[in-house]
Amino acid sequence: MARDEPKEEVVTTIIEGKEKNEDEQEKGEEMKPWEQHSAVISIPRYDYNASSKILRNSHSGFLITCPIKREKSATKEAIGILEKYIVSNPDAKRRKICTEDANEECNGSGEAAADDLVNSESGNSIEKSDILSLVKLTRSGLVLFKFPFDKSPAVVDIVSQIFQSLESGILKSPLWCNRILPIQGTCRLDEKELKKIVTKLVDQFMKNRQKETGNSIKFAVGYNRRGIEETEMKNLRKEASTDPDIFALLDRNKCFSVVAAAVKEIVPDSIVDLKDPELCVLVEVLPLSGVPDKTAIVGVSVLPRALVSTKPRLCIKALVSDTKEMNKKKK
């Protein structure tokens, strides 16, 4: 009898499993097409050490905006999109995007990442064990992936390829990912650190596009603080009143002046043009989970005019036009 008890437990478990699957199938009938098929793509686990890594070093990656409470759907959809442009072999059957510390899922031997990730900036491929990590955030409507700090793939080129594929019809319009911002580097919200990273990225931009832009350039700066809730903003302003050095760059004008000074350091003849800039510097506060109090991290991107929209404000272009978005909502 003692030997039969485990069998009964197994049978019970199987029956419960079948009931659960039937319930899921019934729910699946009411789900939208993407939600049904996205089940084949598993969501990677969060890299809970990501915040401390970003605090120590600058990282590149992708910040994705999506509808609130649709972060899981957007994560699955983003994985399906990004893997086509990051993995050197788009026909690879095994997914390469997961957390750095999930060795059992990504195969500690490196077999799961059999294809190299492409670093088009250097012309070299990223080591096959280096993959994107999913970063936990404190705000809804956002998804953040990052690369290891010592790898800097051409994230701007990757997003450019995604837009080209959408325009040509090669890539289907996403349902949940609204925008994909290529993060070229991260730093603390500090004047010296921000100026340093902007200077580096602008210098890189000018070297890559010297023939197109010449020695002068029109630029614009975008600053998004959605990563800090309004209640937190009020508390931080109170702290800043007693200690002016704390989050001085929360003030938009102060942040703009620091970024503009960094641009002019590289291109002295540069001028501000909010309507038709050739170079756009986007600064985005990242609502990272697990960072110390009185600490804020920003992601920085220096983008060409083709990737941004200037109205109603300066930001990365939407993956789907407003017209298409309205049509989807009507359906």
| Arithmetic mean of pLDDT over the chain | 75
Please state, for a pLDDT cut of 70, what percent of the chain lies above it: 63
Residue 21 to residues 12, 31, 76, 221, 238: CA-CA distances in angstroms? 14, 15, 21, 51, 53
Please state whether beta strands 117-119 and 179-183 pair in parallel, antiparallel, or not at all (unpaired): unpaired
pLDDT at 132 over 60: yes
Greatest mean pLDDT among 190-194, 207-211, 244-248 lies in 190-194
Q: In what order do the strands lie in the sheet with 279-286?
A: 185-188, 297-304, 279-286, 218-224, 271-272
CB atoms within 10 A of CB 238: 9
CB atoms within 10 A of CB 49: 14
pLDDT at 246 over 50: yes
Q: Closest Cα partner for 80 from 147, 186, 165, 167?
A: 165
Q: What is the pLDDT of residue 43?
A: 73
pLDDT at 235 over 60: no
Distance between alpha carbon 37 and the CA centroid of its chain, in Å? 23
Q: What is the pLDDT of residue 233?
A: 57
Q: Sorting pLDDT into bands at 50, 70 and 90, what band is 241? A: low
pLDDT at 34 over 60: no
Q: What share of the chain is helix, strand, coil (3-state, %, to 5)?
A: 45, 20, 40
Contact 126, 154 (CB under 8 A): no
pLDDT tens profile 261-270: 999 999 999 9
pLDDT tens profile 71-116: 999 999 999 999 888 864 444 334 344 434 443 333 333 333 323 3
pLDDT tens profile 306-319: 999 998 889 999 99
Q: Indicate the angle between helix axes 155-168 and 71-86, nearest 10 degrees.
A: 100
Q: What is the pLDDT of residue 237?
A: 59
CATH of 185-331, one of 3.40.50.300, 1.10.390.10, 3.40.30.10, 3.30.2300.10: 3.30.2300.10
Domain with CATH 3.30.2300.10 in the chain: 185-331
